[in-house]
Structure 1
Amino acid sequence: MLTPTTFRELYYVVHDHTGPALFSDVLSPWLDEHAAAARELLVPLAVCGEWQRTEYVWGDLLEQAYALSRISDLLLLGFQPGLPDGTETPWAHQLHLPEHEVRVTAEEYLGFFSALGLRQAEVARFDPFFHEIAAVEQSEDPDAPIEIVAERWPCLMLGEMLFGRAGVAVRAGERRAAAGIADRSMLEDSFLRRHRPTSDGSLGWGHNSQWKTSFRRDYLTADAYQFTVDANLDIDEENPFSDEELTPAERRDLVRHRCAVRRSEHLPQHENPVLGWRLTVPRK
C-alpha cells in the first residue's frame, strides 16, 4: 500500500544504503511492491491543468512528487563531479549529502523511473527546459550559442510534466553561459547536487516539516512552455519579494535556467534569489 510517507521512507533507505548493489538490494524490491500504485498516483500530474491544489492536504501530489524528486537527486550524485578545490561547503551538503557513494548505472536509473511511468526525453539542441548546465567549456567567441558537448544524466518527463532535467556539459560564449557561473552558481528549486550549491523549500526546516515542500511543476504543452505553474505571480507582475534591479531578461533566465548563467552587476545580490514567478513561453 502506498502512503504519503512511502517515497520519503525510500529516500532514507537509499540515503543510508552503503552496499555496492543499490538497485538490486533496494530499488528493485521496492518496485515489486509499490510500482503499480506509484504509477497510478502520479498520473494526474501528467497533463497541465488536470490537477490543482485547491486546499492544502498533507502528503498531497506536490509533496509526493517532491519526495520522489529527492530520491532522483540522490541517485544522480554518482554522475556528478565533486566541488572545485577551495569551494565553501554548501549548506545542502552539510544537511543532506551522504558520506558514502550512491551509485546506480544509467540503465538502472532509467529502469527505476520508467517503472513509475516516466520516460526519457532526448533533445539534441540545448534548451533550458530540458537541460541543466553541469559544466561549461568557454568558447573564444563571447557570443557563441550554447551547444551540448555531452550528456551526464538523462531528462525525465511524466507526460507533459518535466520531472528532472538532463545534466549536460556545454560549449558556449561567455555572454551566453559563463564558466563558473552557469555550472556553479546556486541552483534553485533543486534539492542536491554534488558539484554546486542548491536551494529548495526544504532547507532549514525540521525532520518532518521539510517534507511539506512542493514539487516545482514545469510543463511542455502543445502551445507553450509553462514554467512554475503553481507560482502565485506572473513574471511581469509586481513582486514585493523580488529585486527591481533585475532586468526582465535576467528574471526570465533565472526561471528558465533555475540559476544565474551570465556575469551581471546584480549577480552578487542574487546567490539565492526568490523565484516566485510563473512564466509562459510560446512554442515556436
Structure 2
Amino acid sequence: MIPALRVRQLFLTVEEYQGVDVFLAVVDPWLDEHADAVREALAPLAAFGGWTRTEYEFGDPLETLYALSRVSDALMYKFQPLLPPGSEIPWAHDIHEPERWPHVTRDQYLSAFSRLGMVPIGDVAFEPFFHEVVHVAQHERPEAPVEITGTVWPGLMLGEMLFSRTGVMVRAGAQHLVAGIADRSPLHDVFMRRYRETFDGSLGWGHNSQWRTDFRRDYLTDTAFRFNVDEEPDSEQDILGKPRRLTPAERSDLVRHRCLTRPLQDPGASQDASPGGRFTISRT
C-alpha cells in the first residue's frame, strides 16, 4: 500500500474510534507498522528544493503530507478552545462531527510525530511563519508589538519545512493584529480547527477526490522565509488578469498568517481575501 493510503486509513480510523485510548489502540500500532515507510516517503520534502512535482502521480508526497496534516488536526483538535458563543457552525464541522474525535495528550502527540521525523518548534518570538493566532488580547497602544502570552498546542518542523504552526495566545497593538479578525477570520490552507472556520482544497469534493488535495509548503532557509512555494509568484493581477483588490500588505498578511489580521482597506474586497501566490521574505 502506498504511504498516502496508509495515512488516509489512519485518519479514518482515528475519526471513527470510540474507545478510551486512541493512542495506544490506534496510533501507536499504526506507527509500529507504517512509520518507516511514511518517513521515507516524506524525507525528500525536508529540504527546500529537495522535491518538485514534474508530473502528477496519485499519492505523491504532497498528498501524503496533506493526509498526515489531517491526522495532526484530528489529534490536536481538543487542545483548542470551543467556537465562541453565537458562531455559525463551520461547514467542515458539519461534515466530520469533530467533537466526537478522541483526545491524546501533548506528549503522545509529540511522540507520534517525532517517529515520522519531525521536531517541535522551540520557544521563539512571535513570527507568523511559526505561529497561528488563537486569541488576541488588544493592547491599549496601537503600535505595541505582538507578544506571546501562552501556548495552546505545539508546532512541528520537518527539516526546513513547516508542518504545523504553534497555536498561541498573544497581546498586540491594533496596527499589527486586531482582536476578532486575526483570531476569528477564516483560516486558509488548513483542514480543521475547533475555534474557527477553515478552508482547504478538500471541501466540496467527494469521498475519494478530497484526498487529492496538496499540502501547502512553507520553508525556513538560511536566508529567507519562503511561503507557498508550489504556487506561482504573487502578482497584482488575479488568475483572470483582473487587478487584485487587496493591497500588497494585505496580500502579504494573508499568505503569512493564512487569514485576515486587520480590517481591509476596501471592505468590499473580502471575496478576494484568500492567499495568493508564492511569497518570499528575507530573514535580514
TM-score (norm 2): 0.95
Q: Deviations over 1:249-278 (max 9, x none)?
A: 000000000000112243564267332310
1:202 corresponds in structure 2 to 202
**In structure 2, C-alpha distance between the alignment counterparts of 1:165 and 1:150, rounded to whole Å:** 14
Q: Deviations over 1:136-193 (max 9, x none)?
A: 1111111211110011111100000000000000001122111111111000000000
**In structure 1, C-alpha distance between the alignment counterparts of 2:16 and 2:27, rounded to whole Å:** 13
> Residue 2 and residue 156 in structure 1: after superposition, are their counterparts in 2 closer, same or farther (change >3 A)?
same
> Residue 69 and residue 271 in structure 1: after superposition, are their counterparts in 2 closer, same or farther (change >3 A)?
farther
**Is the deviation greater in 240-249 or in 23-32?**
240-249
SS in 2 for 1:179: coil
1:83-94 aligned at under 5 Å gives the runs: 83-94=83-94
1:52 corresponds in structure 2 to 52
CA contact (8 A) 1:199 1:272 kept: no
How far did 1:2 drift? 4.6
AA aligned to 1:6 is R
Gaps of 5+ in 1: none
**Is the deviation greater in 95-104 or in 44-53?**
95-104
SS in 1 for 2:85: coil
1:240 corresponds in structure 2 to 239
Q: Find out whether 1:40 has 2:40 as its counterpart.
A: yes
Report the identity percentage.
53
Q: Deviations over 1:212-234 (max 9, x none)?
A: 000000000111111000002x1
AA aligned to 2:98 is P
**In structure 1, C-alpha distance between the alignment counterparts of 2:129 and 2:97, rounded to whole Å:** 26
TM-score (norm 1): 0.95
Q: CA RMSD in A?
A: 1.6
**Is the deviation greater in 62-71 or in 236-245?**
236-245
**Is the deviation greater in 197-206 or in 263-272?**
263-272
2:95 corresponds in structure 1 to 95
1:116 corresponds in structure 2 to 116
SS in 2 for 1:277: coil
**In structure 1, C-alpha distance between the alignment counterparts of 2:127 and 2:194, rounded to whole Å:** 22
How far did 1:243 drift? 6.0
**In structure 2, C-alpha distance between the alignment counterparts of 1:145 and 1:44, rounded to whole Å:** 37
CA contact (8 A) 1:121 1:156 kept: yes
CA contact (8 A) 2:246 2:269 kept: no
2:78 corresponds in structure 1 to 78
1:159 corresponds in structure 2 to 159
SS in 1 for 2:76: helix
CA contact (8 A) 1:2 1:34 kept: no
> Residue 53 and residue 10 in structure 1: after superposition, are their counterparts in 2 closer, same or farther (change >3 A)?
same
1:252 corresponds in structure 2 to 252
AA aligned to 1:56 is Y
AA aligned to 2:234 is I
Q: Find out whether 1:263 has 2:266 as its counterpart.
A: no
1:111-190 aligned at under 5 Å gives the runs: 111-190=111-190
1:30 corresponds in structure 2 to 30
CA contact (8 A) 1:188 1:272 kept: no
Q: Find out whether 1:215 has 2:215 as its counterpart.
A: yes
AA aligned to 2:239 is P
How far did 1:97 drift? 3.3
**In structure 2, C-alpha distance between the alignment counterparts of 1:272 and 1:225, rounded to whole Å:** 24
How far did 1:21 drift? 0.7
**In structure 2, C-alpha distance between the alignment counterparts of 1:25 and 1:149, rounded to whole Å:** 35
1:18 corresponds in structure 2 to 18
How far did 1:101 drift? 4.2
Q: Deviations over 1:99-138 (max 9, x none)?
A: 4143111100000000000001114200000000011111
How far did 1:92 drift? 1.3
> Residue 271 and residue 182 in structure 1: after superposition, are their counterparts in 2 closer, same or farther (change >3 A)?
farther
How far did 1:41 drift? 1.0
> Residue 101 and residue 206 in structure 1: after superposition, are their counterparts in 2 closer, same or farther (change >3 A)?
closer
Q: Deviations over 1:195-240 (max 9, x none)?
A: 00000000000000000000000000111111000002x1135333
CA contact (8 A) 1:229 1:278 kept: yes
